[in-house]
């Protein structure tokens, strides 16, 4: 049956209060309350296929100062895969030099998404 979902958009710190309307088949018929197209997309995704960007860090060896290099999934991954991504990264170590944007892990946890560095370690 038709339903309404109230969500808080997480695409940016504005945190818009979204109202997502779904029809009988569960298809999204409208998203309101968003202030940008990203919010509309978030509203649709969150009720059908929720996704998250994973950010974490991993140890780096061979750098002059840094012990850790921060990393993120290059794009969103399915929300249900977040802990698989974290588990796949556990125990991995990066080798300096690392520059922002370097791919450190290809196709992490079978998501098809790469893990890239978000800080420099020289």
Q: Which is nearer to other proteins, 11 or 47 (CB)?
A: 11
Burial of 87 (0-12, 13-18, 19+ CB in 10 A): exposed
CA–CA separation, 70 vs 56, rounded Å?
6
x/- track of binding to other proteins for residues 87-106 (CB under 8 A)? -------------x------
What would the DSSP string read from start to end of 52-89?
E--EEEEEEES-SS-SEEEEEESS-EEGGGHHHHHHHH
x/- track of binding to other proteins for residues 28-67 (CB under 8 A)? -----x------------------xxxxxx-x-----xxx
Residue 97: asked if its preceding bond is cis (omega within 30°), the reply is yes
Among 2, 27, 86, 92, contact with other proteins (rule: CB under 8 A): 86
Rule CB under 8 A: which residues touch other proteins? 7-15, 17, 33, 52-57, 59, 65-68, 70, 72, 79, 82, 86, 100, 118-120
């Amino acid at each position: 049956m038709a339903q309404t979902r109230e969500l808080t958009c997480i695409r940016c710190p504005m945190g818009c209060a979204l109202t997502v309307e779904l029809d009988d088949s569960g298809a999204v018929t409208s998203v309101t309350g968003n202030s940008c197209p990203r919010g509309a997309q978030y509203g649709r995704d969150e009720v059908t296929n929720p996704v998250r960007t994973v950010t974490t860090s991993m140890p780096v060896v061979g750098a002059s100062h840094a012990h850790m290099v921060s990393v993120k999934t290059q794009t969103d991954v399915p929300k249900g895969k977040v802990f698989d991504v974290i588990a796949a990264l556990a125990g991995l170590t990066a080798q300096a030099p690392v520059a922002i944007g370097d791919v450190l892990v290809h196709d992490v946890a079978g998501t098809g998404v790469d893990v890239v560095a978000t800080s420099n370690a020289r």
